[in-house]
Amino acid sequence: GDSVTQTEGLVTVTEGLPVMLNCTYQTAYSDVAFFWYVQYLNEAPKLLLRSSTDNKRTEHQGFHATLHKSSSSFHLQKSSVQLSDSALYYCALSDRGNMGYKLTFGTGTSLLVDP
Amino acid sequence: NAGVIQTPRHKVTGKGQEATLWCEPISGHSAVFWYRQTIVQGLEFLTYFRNQAPIDDSGMPKERFSAQMPNQSHSTLKIQSTQPQDSAVYLCASSSGQQANYEQYFGPGTRLTVL
């Protein structure tokens, strides 16, 4: 089955500095989409950005990610983090498998931005 | 648009009791998903309905968990004989589309605590 790996459980960054959250995946399907969801404390997960196109940069709210099928990666980056970026970030994929479009999530990375 | 509605927001049950969780998807959305969120496992898929029909229940613990979608406006997740390990936040999500890159909109979740 599909799998998504997020190697960092917690990332701490000083405000104004860049950050990269790692995401790699395994899937046997070709019709696949990739997502980053963000979850603020006591809130529902919300879509941050998504992509299904190889080597195309996707941007939203200052964050960007590029799907690289050659390395099975979809890392999330931001050039200058803000205190309000502190949240839990999930990488996920959805494939056109036999049973439809469930999301397979990584274990999540908590981003803590220090002043 | 009120978003995905989940009730109750918090539920406390004793070991061995039954718990029923409710979800009202966004009006017009054809797909409804249930996920479970814990600190250790993160977000895990449970089950998925499309146009009220069950499509994939591969994530459901077989013996005590069941889900239904009797009409297009609500779905229920029932846990019989609850156990402490069932304690988690149960999230419902809905989606309008039938392609891998369609966004899933999450509800605020029901926090289940089994004593």
Question: Residue ranges of the domains in chain B?
Answer: 5-94
Asked whether the beta carbons of residue A107 and residue B41 sit closer than 8 angstroms, the reply is yes
CATH number at A68 reads 2.60.40.10
Of residues A15 and B2, which shows the higher confidence score? A15
Confidence of residue B25 (pLDDT cuts 50, 70, 90): very high
* CATH match of B5-94 with 2.40.110.10: no
**pLDDT(B78) > 80:** yes
Q: How far is CA A36 from the centre of its chain?
A: 3
Q: A85 to chain B, minimum CA–CA distance in Å?
A: 19
Q: What are phi and psi of B86, to 5 degrees?
A: -80, -10
For residues A107 and A114, give the distance between their C-alpha atoms in angstroms, rounded to a whole number.
Answer: 23
Asked whether the beta carbons of residue A105 and residue B102 sit closer than 8 angstroms, the reply is no
Burial of B94 (0-12, 13-18, 19+ CB in 10 A): buried
Using the structure block, give the residue that is written with the tokens 């500095």.
Answer: A17
For residues A108 and A8, give the distance between their C-alpha atoms in angstroms, rounded to a whole number.
Answer: 8
Asked whether the beta carbons of residue B44 and residue A47 sit closer than 8 angstroms, the reply is no
Mean pLDDT along residues A9-35: 94
Asked whether the beta carbons of residue A103 and residue B106 sit closer than 8 angstroms, the reply is no
**pLDDT(A98) > 90:** no
**Nearest CB partner across the interface for A102, out of B48, B107, B109:** B48
**pLDDT(B97) > 60:** yes
Mean pLDDT along residues B6-18: 97
Return the pLDDT at B102.
82
Return the pLDDT at A31.
81
- Name the residue range of residue A103's domain: 3-114
Asked whether the beta carbons of residue A107 and residue B42 sit closer than 8 angstroms, the reply is yes
3-class DSSP assignment, residue A82: coil
Confidence of residue A87 (pLDDT cuts 50, 70, 90): very high
Q: What are phi and psi of A114, to 5 degrees?
A: -90, 145
**pLDDT(A95) > 60:** yes
For residues B98 and B48, give the distance between their C-alpha atoms in angstroms, rounded to a whole number.
Answer: 12
Residue A107: its chain B contacts at CB < 8 A? 41-42
Of residues A30 and B48, which shows the higher confidence score? B48
**pLDDT(B40) > 90:** no
**pLDDT(B101) > 90:** no
Of residues A1 and B6, which shows the higher confidence score? B6
Confidence of residue B41 (pLDDT cuts 50, 70, 90): confident
Closest chain A CA to residue B104: A47
For residues A96 and A9, give the distance between their C-alpha atoms in angstroms, rounded to a whole number.
Answer: 28
Mean pLDDT along residues A86-101: 84
**Nearest CB partner across the interface for B50, out of A95, A96, A100:** A100
For residues B26 and B94, give the distance between their C-alpha atoms in angstroms, rounded to a whole number.
Answer: 7
Domain count, chain A: 1
**Nearest CB partner across the interface for A33, out of B43, B93, B100:** B100
